[in-house]
């Protein structure tokens, strides 16, 4: 599904190249659940953003579903992205001005889906996550765990093949965190969704099928569980 | 998708009430001003176009050229001959109508009033489309003793609009004569140059019709109607050819009388529709409401300023507020939005705001139309809006404003990278050069207008308070047509019986002027005044040389004149006293200068003091100057009126105070003063609400910095300074830009006045201080709020 070859990422700071990622080579198969770990500043989030097409590498090749991502035009990439990828953030990143229902609906709007179709899908997801009663609330009326649940629900609404999660439990207490991780596991097992998460926690990493350790922008270890 | 955008837009507005208010109010005011000016301009260009025939109606006008063919002057007036002679002899001219202004005394019961009216030819109603309420438009002016009234005048005279057949007593040379009302006209449209309450048939005496000199007696307006297929140039040429042929005899007679004529007259036709805004041939002499295109330009310019400032607010605030929206933009991009869709969304939000502002503007226009009408001397109303052109103009204005104010922020905002915005790596706007530039532009415009207003106010103050060289206080002027010397003496004796009345002097009515030979070869123009020996002391005019007229020199009455300093200068006399001069050309009589008065402003301060001459020769007086004691005005006026009515029962009584009449000279300035004041207040207000919005958003943006500074021990004062100084610097820069430009403009404007203020530094310093103080107040309000906030709140993250 994903193949990264000789990926480099750097910023120019005062004439010097400041490397974030150095020569990353990585293959990921459909259905994997991967945890990326490593100390602060090791390049975890950058790697995740490059995979998620939010960021571009300075050098290297990225193949997603047999297409070379960096060679695609903005529009094609956006299409690929809309069809296959969902994002979950540490800070949830819900739109404050929209209700739970509307937040989940928004990606479907961008897919030009008809209103009736959207309604069915959102209703389905609300049911599945048990948040029907909260659909008219705004994000600031929810607890952190509930907000993250909505974040995941939104990521799932467009039926992605790949979910990218950047420390999804970082702002949650341990009980809420466990629930979220269980949810990911279930999505991976039952729906066959590929999941890549960035995490600091060994415990969370253990939910996955493979752990990649980054150190100073390089892959330090690559362990299949 | 639209619904989603609309929801977001509305909720955003609801959550950011200050921002919404500033944007909507600012833009609303700007739009309202534009709407008013569009109404004004529309009214201006629609003048006189309601006549069915307007395309073929022209006014006969004259251009004067000297022997070398150089233009020496324009005159829109003509005389008895031009209309009938051209119409009869020049092919292409179908008909004509002459319009002469005048006034006649009208008697109703024992009340005598003086009525302004127009004398017109009987073709008047077949050429102009003034609908009649009652009467027949084809023959209502045929009878020499017929009178046509406006609806209003008919109601005033007879208590009913249907006055046809009723009799009015109108004064002729030999007493009041009965005139029959033959028609009543519906109210004339406001945008008509011809306004009247009463029309009388124009009567030309038989000997006048035969007098060839009437080619050169110029005192009325002549309109002609051309055949629809007539060639304008050919008609003008035909007129010129006929005139030159037909006037030969008159030229000969006049040359014999007064010497060779220096000027050649070129006849031209002026389209009636162009007359209202013409600067070459303005509407005058019975035609009213002459305007200048300059007014439209200035007003449009000011309104463009205001609208521009409101749009700048919009752009600035939207960009500044982007900080708050960056997260949303990032999320939208992450969950699949394309840039195009975001541009669409933000433009849509702008249009929503514009729409609200637009509605507000319509409301504002409705509210302030009366004030504006007062300022612009018009009777505009929103019902004018029911006009396809104007409505499409407004819609265009709305679309343009929405687009201009929205496109820049939309492009900027939609360009954000989600990785930057979602990971707090983002510093919106960086140095904000554009935002700063816009603030500078905005305040430069506002400062410019404030300086312009200050200048206008100072000049106006100067015009109305400058010493005139004579005393115009408590001076009542009472008009009495052809007041003879004996009548004046009687009037004076009767009035002086009342101790509240301290002085009396008769003078000719109106402004008279003539030409005199001051030496054998040169002539000069001057104003001349018919007075008696009491005039100079009554007005406290100072004598510079010689003496005043005196009863003890009987020859003064016939042979002596006083002149002013300007006269002496123009005549280049070294010793003015005992100089002889002759004028009126009627004989070789010489007048002797017996005294020189100091120059005083007998005209408006807008004009340079021109040569002036006083004589006691009996030309008949027209006005009595009466000095009354301060504090006794009501009783004195009462006494004057009673005395007047007793002595002159057949004359209408009217009075004015000389100082009030003097003020009337500056009505135009007073009006522009008000317009500029409103404009300046509006621009500074809109600029300030914009600045306020920016300061709110800046304080928000720097909330973390302020928190850290406070934790490190910064005082409230220090924080306020930090937050304010940036803005004040921008305002200072805008002043640096505005001051020289305003100085140039103010100087140029002041050149129009021969007597003007010195454009000192005070105006600029006070305007600058005012702008800075207002800006400081606006900014510090928010800065103080931010500075006293508890830093614990701002430093807690996520």
> What is the pLDDT, as a whole number, of residue B702?
79
- Residues of chain A with Cβ-Cβ distance to B333 below 8 Å are 54
Q: Which site among B3, B334, B338, B419 would you substitute to test the A interface, given the most A Cβ atoms closer than 10 Å to its Cβ? A: B334
Query: For chain B, what percent of residues have pLDDT higher than 70?
Result: 95
Same domain, B298 and B344: yes
Which of B375, B406, B430 is the endpoint of a domain?
B430
Per-window interface: A 61-120 vs B, CB < 8 A: 75, 78, 81-82, 87, 89, 91, 93-98, 102, 105-107, 109-111
> What is the pLDDT, as a whole number, of residue A214?
93
Return d(Cα A20, Cα A50) in angstroms, integer: 12
Least confident of A130-134, B466-470, B581-585: B581-585
- Residues of chain A with Cβ-Cβ distance to B4 below 8 Å are 98, 102, 105-106, 109
Residue in B12, B335, B419 closest to A154 by CB: B335
Same domain, B578 and B631: yes
Return d(Cα B442, Cα B778) in angstroms, integer: 15
Return d(Cα B234, Cα B14) in angstroms, integer: 69
Return d(Cα B134, Cα B182) in angstroms, integer: 8
Answer yes or no: is pLDDT of B190 > 70: yes
Answer yes or no: is pLDDT of B794 > 70: no
* Residue B149 belongs to a domain: no
> What is the pLDDT, as a whole number, of residue A11?
86
Options 2.30.110.10, 3.40.50.300, 3.30.70.141, 3.10.590.10; CATH for A32-58+74-224 is 3.40.50.300
Answer yes or no: is pLDDT of B560 > 70: yes
> What is the pLDDT, as a whole number, of residue B451?
93
* Residue B466 belongs to a domain: no
Average pLDDT, rounded, for chain A: 90
**CB contacts < 8 A (A, B):** 63
* Structure token pair of residue B328: 């949303």
Do the chains contact at B4 and A105, CB–CB below 8 Å? yes
> What is the pLDDT, as a whole number, of residue B23?
84
- Residues of chain B with Cβ-Cβ distance to A107 below 8 Å are 335-336
Do the chains contact at B422 and A93, CB–CB below 8 Å? yes
Q: What is the mean pLDDT of residues A82-98?
A: 87
Is A45 in the B-facing interface, judged by CB distances under 8 Å? yes
> Domain coordinates of chain A in residue numbers?
32-58+74-224
Pick B590 or A119 by higher pLDDT: A119
> What is the pLDDT, as a whole number, of residue B521?
59
Q: Which site among A54, A103, A121, A137 would you substitute to test the B interface, given the most B Cβ atoms closer than 10 Å to its Cβ? A: A54
> What is the pLDDT, as a whole number, of residue B287?
87
Are A155 and A106 in contact by the 8 Å Cβ rule? The answer is no
Phi and psi torsions of B475, nearest 5°? -105, 115
Q: Taking CA atoms, what residue in B is nearest to A102?
A: B4
Do the chains contact at A96 and B1, CB–CB below 8 Å? no
Same domain, B497 and B401: no
* Residue B183 belongs to a domain: no
Residue B127, judged by CB atoms within 10 A of its CB (0-12, 13-18, 19+), counts as buried
* Residue B375 belongs to a domain: yes
> What is the pLDDT, as a whole number, of residue B195?
93
Same domain, B106 and B230: yes
Return d(Cα B443, Cα B349) in angstroms, integer: 26
Same domain, B41 and B62: no
Do the chains contact at B337 and A110, CB–CB below 8 Å? yes
Q: Taking CA atoms, what residue in B is nearest to A79?
A: B336
Residue in B7, B331, B341 closest to A102 by CB: B7
pTM strictly above 0.90: no
Do the chains contact at A158 and B419, CB–CB below 8 Å? no
Do the chains contact at B422 and A102, CB–CB below 8 Å? no
How confident is the model over B677-697, as pLDDT tens digits?
888 888 888 888 888 888 877
> What is the pLDDT, as a whole number, of residue B257?
74
- Residues of chain B with Cβ-Cβ distance to A117 below 8 Å are none
Residue B464, judged by CB atoms within 10 A of its CB (0-12, 13-18, 19+), counts as middle
Confidence of residue B3 (pLDDT cuts 50, 70, 90): confident
Which of B619, B640, B663 is the endpoint of a domain?
B663
Q: Taking CA atoms, what residue in B is nearest to A171?
A: B798
Do the chains contact at A93 and B419, CB–CB below 8 Å? no
B359–chain A nearest CA distance, Å:
25
Same domain, B575 and B656: yes
* Residue B759 belongs to a domain: no
- Residues of chain B with Cβ-Cβ distance to A89 below 8 Å are 422
Confidence of residue B431 (pLDDT cuts 50, 70, 90): low
Closest CA to B784 of B705, B695, B711, B694: B695
How confident is the model over B64-122, as pLDDT tens digits?
888 788 888 888 999 999 999 999 999 999 999 999 998 898 988 778 888 899 999 99
Do the chains contact at B334 and A87, CB–CB below 8 Å? yes
* Residue B790 belongs to a domain: no
Classify B700 as helix, strand or coil.
Answer: helix
Residue in A91, A107, A171 closest to B335 by CB: A107
Same domain, B259 and B299: no
B348–chain A nearest CA distance, Å:
16
Average pLDDT, rounded, for chain B: 86
Classify B500 as helix, strand or coil.
Answer: coil
Pick A181 or B482 by higher pLDDT: A181
> What is the pLDDT, as a whole number, of residue B26?
87
Residue in A82, A97, A107 closest to B12 by CB: A97
Do the chains contact at B336 and A49, CB–CB below 8 Å? no
Do the chains contact at B422 and A89, CB–CB below 8 Å? yes
Do the chains contact at A110 and B15, CB–CB below 8 Å? no
How confident is the model over A95-113, as pLDDT tens digits?
888 899 999 998 888 888 8
How confident is the model over B219-247, as pLDDT tens digits?
899 999 999 999 999 999 999 999 999 99
Residue B369, judged by CB atoms within 10 A of its CB (0-12, 13-18, 19+), counts as buried
How confident is the model over B773-782, as pLDDT tens digits?
999 888 888 7
Do the chains contact at B335 and A102, CB–CB below 8 Å? no
How confident is the model over B304-355, as pLDDT tens digits?
888 888 888 877 777 777 667 778 888 888 888 888 888 888 888 888 888 8
Least confident of B236-240, B627-631, B704-708: B704-708
Same domain, B263 and B200: yes
Q: B230: domain range?
A: 54-138+189-275
Answer yes or no: is pLDDT of B796 > 70: no
Q: Taking CA atoms, what residue in B is nearest to A83?
A: B336
Residue in A49, A75, A111 closest to B336 by CB: A111
Residue B253, judged by CB atoms within 10 A of its CB (0-12, 13-18, 19+), counts as middle
Which of B645, B663, B681 is the endpoint of a domain?
B663
- Residues of chain B with Cβ-Cβ distance to A154 below 8 Å are 335
A84–chain B nearest CA distance, Å:
11
Q: How big is the CA angle at A145 (ends A140 and A146), to the nearest 5 degrees?
A: 55
Same domain, B533 and B598: yes
DSSP-H helix ranges across B183-271: 206-210, 232-246, 248-258
Q: Which residues contact A224 (CB under 8 A, 6 or more apart)?
A: A209, A210
Q: Taking CA atoms, what residue in A is nearest to B797?
A: A91
Do the chains contact at B336 and A154, CB–CB below 8 Å? no
Same domain, B307 and B381: yes
Q: Which site among B331, B341, B342 would you substitute to test the A interface, given the most A Cβ atoms closer than 10 Å to its Cβ? A: B331
How many domains does one find in chain B? 3
Question: Residue B204, Cβ neighbours under 10 Å: how many?
Answer: 14
Do the chains contact at B332 and A49, CB–CB below 8 Å? no
- Residues of chain B with Cβ-Cβ distance to A81 below 8 Å are 336
Return d(Cα B525, Cα B544) in angstroms, integer: 22
What contacts 24+ positions apart, CB below 8 Å, involve B403-407? B403/B347, B403/B350, B404/B311, B405/B27, B405/B311, B405/B314, B405/B315, B405/B318, B405/B350, B405/B354, B406/B314, B406/B318, B406/B346, B406/B347, B406/B349, B406/B350, B406/B351, B406/B354, B407/B347
Do the chains contact at A97 and B7, CB–CB below 8 Å? yes
Show which residues on chain B lie within 8 Å of chain A, measured between beta carbons.
1, 4, 7-8, 11-12, 15, 327-328, 330-338, 341, 417-419, 422-423, 798
A225–chain B nearest CA distance, Å:
31
Same domain, B248 and B376: no
Answer yes or no: is pLDDT of B426 > 80: no
Answer yes or no: is pLDDT of B498 > 50: yes
Confidence of residue B747 (pLDDT cuts 50, 70, 90): very high
Return d(Cα B47, Cα B219) in angstroms, integer: 24
Per-window interface: A 127-166 vs B, CB < 8 A: 154-155, 158
* Structure token pair of residue A135: 């659909």
* Structure token pair of residue B138: 């084809």
Chain position carrying tokens 């030229």:
B251
Q: Taking CA atoms, what residue in B is nearest to A105?
A: B4
Q: What is the DSSP string of A94-125?
A: --TTS-HHHHHHHHHHHTT--HHHHHHHHHHH
Closest CA to A102 of B323, B15, B335, B419: B335
Q: Taking CA atoms, what residue in A is nearest to B2?
A: A109
Same domain, B17 and B97: no
Least confident of A111-115, A217-221, B386-390: B386-390
Do the chains contact at A110 and B338, CB–CB below 8 Å? yes
Confidence of residue B798 (pLDDT cuts 50, 70, 90): very low
How confident is the model over B596-605, as pLDDT tens digits?
999 999 888 8
End-to-end CA distance of chain A: 20
Q: How far is CA A11 from CA A20, A45, A57, B29, B418, in A?
A: 8, 15, 10, 48, 17
* Residue B770 belongs to a domain: no
The DSSP symbol for B747 reads H
Residue in A52, A55, A107 closest to B336 by CB: A107
Query: For chain B, what percent of residues have pLDDT higher than 90?
Result: 36
């Amino acid at each position: 599904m994903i193949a990264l070859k000789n990926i480099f990422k750097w910023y120019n700071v005062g004439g010097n190249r400041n490397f974030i990622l150095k020569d990353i080579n990585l293959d990921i198969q459909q259905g994997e659940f991967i945890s990326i770990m490593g100390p602060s500043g090791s390049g975890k989030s950058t790697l995740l953003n490059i995979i998620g097409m939010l960021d571009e590498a300075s050098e290297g090749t990225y193949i997603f579903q047999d297409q070379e991502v960096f060679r695609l035009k903005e529009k094609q990439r956006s299409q690929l992205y809309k069809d296959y990828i969902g994002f979950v953030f540490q800070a949830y990143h819900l739109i404050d001005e929209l209700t739970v229902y509307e937040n989940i609906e928004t990606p479907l709007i961008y897919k030009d889906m008809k209103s009736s179709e959207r309604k069915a899908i959102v209703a389905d997801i609300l049911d599945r996550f048990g948040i029907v009663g909260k659909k008219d609330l705004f994000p600031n009326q929810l607890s952190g765990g509930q907000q993250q649940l909505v974040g995941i629900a939104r990521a799932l609404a467009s039926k992605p093949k790949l979910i990218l999660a950047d420390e999804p439990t970082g702002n949650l207490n341990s009980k809420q965190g466990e629930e979220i991780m269980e949810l990911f596991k279930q999505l991976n097992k039952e729906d066959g969704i590929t999941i890549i998460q960035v995490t600091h926690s060994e415990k969370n990493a253990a939910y996955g099928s493979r752990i990649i350790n980054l150190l100073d922008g390089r892959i330090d270890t690559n362990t299949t569980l | 998708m639209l619904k989603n955008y609309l929801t977001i837009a509305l909720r955003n507005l609801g959550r950011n009430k200050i921002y919404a208010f500033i944007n909507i109010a600012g833009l609303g005011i700007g739009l309202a001003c534009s709407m008013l000016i569009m109404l004004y301009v529309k009214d201006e260009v629609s003048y006189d176009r309601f006549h069915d025939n307007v395309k073929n109606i022209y006014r006969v006008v004259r251009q004067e050229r000297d022997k070398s063919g150089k233009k020496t002057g324009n005159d829109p007036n003509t005389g008895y001959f031009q209309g009938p002679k051209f119409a009869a002899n020049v092919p292409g001219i179908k008909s004509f109508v002459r319009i002469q202004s005048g006034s006649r005394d009208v008697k109703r019961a024992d009340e005598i009033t003086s009525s302004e009216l127009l004398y017109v030819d009987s073709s008047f109603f077949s050429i102009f489309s003034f609908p009649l309420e009652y009467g027949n438009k084809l023959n209502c002016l045929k009878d020499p003793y017929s009178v046509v009234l406006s609806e209003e005048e008919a109601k005033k005279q007879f208590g009913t609009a249907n006055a046809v057949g009723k009799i009015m007593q109108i004064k002729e040379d030999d007493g009041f004569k009965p005139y029959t009302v033959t028609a009543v006209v519906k109210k004339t449209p406001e945008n008509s140059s011809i306004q009247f309450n009463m029309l009388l048939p124009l009567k030309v005496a038989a000997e006048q019709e035969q007098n060839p000199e009437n080619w050169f007696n110029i005192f009325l307006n002549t309109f002609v109607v051309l055949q629809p297929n007539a060639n304008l140039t050919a008609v003008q040429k035909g007129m010129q050819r006929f005139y030159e042929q037909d006037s030969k005899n008159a030229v000969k007679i006049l040359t014999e009388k007064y010497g060779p004529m220096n000027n050649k007259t070129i006849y031209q036709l002026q389209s009636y529709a162009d007359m209202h805004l013409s600067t070459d041939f303005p509407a005058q002499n019975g035609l009213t409401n002459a305007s200048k295109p300059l007014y439209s330009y200035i007003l449009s310019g000011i309104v463009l300023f205001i609208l521009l400032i409101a749009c700048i607010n919009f752009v600035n605030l939207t960009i500044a507020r982007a900080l708050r929206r960056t997260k949303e933009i990032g999320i939208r991009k992450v969950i699949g939005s394309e840039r195009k869709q975001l541009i669409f969304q933000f433009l849509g939000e702008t249009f929503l705001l514009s729409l609200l502002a637009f509605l507000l503007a319509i409301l504002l226009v409705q509210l302030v139309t009366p004030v504006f009408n007062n300022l612009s001397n018009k009777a505009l109303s929103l019902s004018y809006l029911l006009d396809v052109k104007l409505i499409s103009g407004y819609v265009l204005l709305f679309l343009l404003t929405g687009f201009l104010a929205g496109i820049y922020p939309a492009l900027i905002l939609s360009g954000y990278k989600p990785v930057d915005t979602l990971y707090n790596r983002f510093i919106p706007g960086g140095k904000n050069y554009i935002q700063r530039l816009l603030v500078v532009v905005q305040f430069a415009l506002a400062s410019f207008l404030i300086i312009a207003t200050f200048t206008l106010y100072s000049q106006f103050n100067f015009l109305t308070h400058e010493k005139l060289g004579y005393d115009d206080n408590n001076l009542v002027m009472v008009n009495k047509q052809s007041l003879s010397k004996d009548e004046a003496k009687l009037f004076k004796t009767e009035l002086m019986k009342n101790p509240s009345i301290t002085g009396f002097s008769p003078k000719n009515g109106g402004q008279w002027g003539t030409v005199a030979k001051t030496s054998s070869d040169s002539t000069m123009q001057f104003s001349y005044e018919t007075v008696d020996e009491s005039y100079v002391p009554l007005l406290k005019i100072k004598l510079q040389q010689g003496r005043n007229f005196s009863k003890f020199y009987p020859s003064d009455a016939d042979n002596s004149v006083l002149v002013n300093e300007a006269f002496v200068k123009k005549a280049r006399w070294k010793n003015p006293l005992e100089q002889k001069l002759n004028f009126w050309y009627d004989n070789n009589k010489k007048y002797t200068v017996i005294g020189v008065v100091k120059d005083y402003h007998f005209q408006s301060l807008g004009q340079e003091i021109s040569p002036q001459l006083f004589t006691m020769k009996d030309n008949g007086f027209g006005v009595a100057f009466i000095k009354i004691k301060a504090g006794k005005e009501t009783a004195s006026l009462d006494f004057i009126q009673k005395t007047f009515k007793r002595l002159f029962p057949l004359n209408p009584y009217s009075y004015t105070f000389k100082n009030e009449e003097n003020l009337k000279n500056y009505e135009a300035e007073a009006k522009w003063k008000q317009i500029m004041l409103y404009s300046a207040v509006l621009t500074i207000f809109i600029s300030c609400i914009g600045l306020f919005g920016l300061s709110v958003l800046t304080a928000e943006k720097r909330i973390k910095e302020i928190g850290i500074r406070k934790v490190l021990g910064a005082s409230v004062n220090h924080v306020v300074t930090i937050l304010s100084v940036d803005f004040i610097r921008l305002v200072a820069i805008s002043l640096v830009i505005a001051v020289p430009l305003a100085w140039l403009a103010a100087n140029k404007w002041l050149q129009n006045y021969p007597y003007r203020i010195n454009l000192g530094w005070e105006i600029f310093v006070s305007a600058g201080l005012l702008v800075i103080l207002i800006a400081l107040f606006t900014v510090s309000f928010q800065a103080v709020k931010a500075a006293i906030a508890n830093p614990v709140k701002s430093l807690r993250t996520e």
